[in-house]
Structure 1
Amino acid sequence: MTMSETTSNLTEAAVTETAAGGAHGYTSDKEAYLRRLRRIEGQVRGIARMVEEDKYCIDILTQVAAINKALHAVSLGLVQDHMSHCVVGAAQESERTGNPEIVQAKVQEAADAIGRLLR
């Protein structure tokens, strides 16, 4: 599946989920996120073992870098899900109600989250 097909599917899901009761943007990919997070959790336990076993510093740092990359991938996926679900839903609600503050709040939420990720 291409990125544009994924985005289109997420947008369609967002509209459906918003109408059905407001599920979160990541809901359709929840199991995939949980698998990735469990794998990261295992990597963290592996690093703790490496420290316990007095492994070489650079080997430990290499594993830390891998975990950081994996967490960034999860974070970027969640940002994309938020944009395609929550922000799109807010834009639709804003248009429906005529209240521009609805979408501005979600955009600000996304900007704040991105800012935290960049720190």
Structure 2
Amino acid sequence: MELNLPEELPESCCSSEERKSHQSEKVKNNLTTRLNPIEGQIRGVKGLIERDTYCDDVLTQLSAIQSALNSVGKILLEGHLKSCVLERIQEGDEEVLDEFLVTVKKLMK
């Protein structure tokens, strides 16, 4: 699966002092564009539950939402690895590997 990450990566994604992301506007727009329909899908599922929709239909919608969220997560994870993690390793901060592994474990739950 191609993630379609823009060629440009943030200059300094997650500096250890600030722990703040510095995504490019292109990446932010991509993520926001992907998150907007998810937000609508969640409201839709809430409506399905309120209308006593058949459980299997609700579960199917939840599966679609999870898949869309995973897509957003993959984009963020790839950018984080290629910029933040790489930068911190190059600075000699190997603790970032443990942090990254904890993050991956959380994503794989």
What residue is the counterpart of 1:63 in the other structure?
Answer: 61
- C-alpha RMSD of the superposition: 2.3
Which entry has the higher C-alpha Rg, 1 or 2?
1
Q: With the length of structure 1 as denominator, give the TM-score of the two structures.
A: 0.72
Match in the other structure for 2:105: 115
| CA-to-aligned-CA distance 1:16-70 (integer Å, 9 cap, x gap) | x13xx95626x12111112212211110000011111221211111000001111
Which sections of structure 2, spanning at least 5 residues, go unmatched?
none
Residue 98 (structure 1) aligns with: none
C-alpha contact (below 8 Å) 1:79/1:110 kept by paired residues: no
TM-score between the two structures when normalised by the length of structure 2: 0.78
Q: How many pairs were matched up?
A: 100
Unpaired segments ≥5 residues, structure 1: 95-101
2:14 paired with 1:24:
no
Question: Which stretches of structure 1, 4 residues or more, deviate above 6 A after TM superposition?
Answer: none
C-alpha spacing 1:33/1:105, structure 2 compared with 1 (3 Å): same
Identical aligned pairs, as a percentage?
Answer: 32
Q: Distance in 1 between matches of 2:32 and 2:96?
A: 24
Instruction: Give, in whole Å, the separation in 2 of the partners of 1:66 and 1:106.
Output: 32
More helix by share: 1
2:41, 2:30 → 1: CA distance?
17
> 1:55 is paired with a residue of what secondary structure?
coil
